[in-house]
Amino acid sequence: MKLLNVAKTIDHEKILEDISFDLSANEIVGLVGRNGSGKTTLFRTISGQYYADGGTMEIDGKNIEKLPETRQEIFYIDEKENFLGPYSLKKINEFYRLTYPRFDQDLFIELIREHELPYNLSYKRMSKGMQGLFQMILAICSNATYLLLDEPFDGLDVIVRKKVIGLLLENLGESNRTALIASHNLNELESIIDRALLLKGNTISYDYRLEEVRAKSKKLQLVFKTKKVPDIVKQNSKVVDFQGRVVTALFENYSTAIEENIKAEDPLVFEELPLTLEDLFEANLSQESLMKGIGGSK
């Protein structure tokens, strides 16, 4: 799937602008952004609930909006505006079998039985955990190439959450399918994704491949003799935290030269910390850089 310069305006307000990225086969990608950044709008636009106001979306070179049948390769359930509520799992199953030509009915029955979901119960009478598990079963059994999962772990207890993640990883690992997952649970997300797309300012501001980020980036905790932070730190990092003289900073392009220059400032503490997806989120999506508050006090 390829998106190029996709834009969406709602009620005269730009929600998405110049959205461009590719999704490759057999990868799990995280979509990260603050509340109201446009993650759900992006999913609705890709899935066809909204028409894009600009740009193109393609699957295998075919324009999704001009060839509606290509949307059979996309699975998305809008948690806020879905139609599932009054229907039984049986009726919902029948609908999805008609919608997705490659729907795996044998696997569906197997998973429903394995997880003891009540086939004749209405969706709205199920617990949040059961609904989340059922949605993941539908996603997997649809055999759609691209799964758009909007907060799939939200509200699930730890046991159900592990089941949902296990189902996803087990079944995607056996195919060339791709999942794009929006989640506020960054620790959970980090453990399963290959890439992270950061949505900020109506567009994709960063496209991180986590292995590459960890290879060239470092998170350091530093303490200097005064509260004045050396220019080498301010110019080459994004501060994650600043308490008194203790500075925690993310260096996205760390080098031997930067390290030597920091050590030349004779820090009292120079300690490397584990780098997480949450650090990238804080450093790049915070409303204002913490650097504004650490200018020149002594």
Q: Report pLDDT for 188.
A: 85
The mean pLDDT of the chain is 90
For 60, other C-beta atoms within 10 Å of its C-beta total 9
Task: Please compute the mean of the pLDDT values over residues 261-265 and round it to a whole number.
Answer: 96
Model confidence at 295: pLDDT above 90: no
Q: Residues with Cβ < 8 Å from 154, sequence gap 6 or more?
A: 132, 183, 184, 185
What the block records as the tokens of 95 is: 């609908």
Pairing of strands 74-76, 146-150: parallel
Q: Which one, of 187, 55, 54, lies nearest residue 196 by Cα? A: 187
Least confident of 72-86, 220-234, 273-287: 273-287
Measured over all CA atoms, what is the biggest interatomic distance in the chain, rounded to whole angstroms?
70
Model confidence at 59: pLDDT above 80: yes
pTM of the entire predicted model: 0.88
The sheet carrying 13-22 orders its strands as 13-22, 2-10, 54-59, 62-63
Task: Please compute the mean of the pLDDT values over residues 2-12 and round it to a whole number.
Answer: 96
Pairing of strands 62-63, 54-59: antiparallel
What the block records as the tokens of 47 is: 């899935």
Reported confidence tier of residue 227, pLDDT bands at 50, 70, 90? confident
Cβ proximity of 247 and 276 under 8 Å: no
pLDDT tens string 112-151: 999 999 999 999 999 989 999 999 999 999 999 999 999 9
Q: Report pLDDT for 286.
A: 61
Reported confidence tier of residue 1, pLDDT bands at 50, 70, 90? very high
Q: Report pLDDT for 62.
A: 95
| Alpha carbons 182 and 16: distance in angstroms, whole number | 16
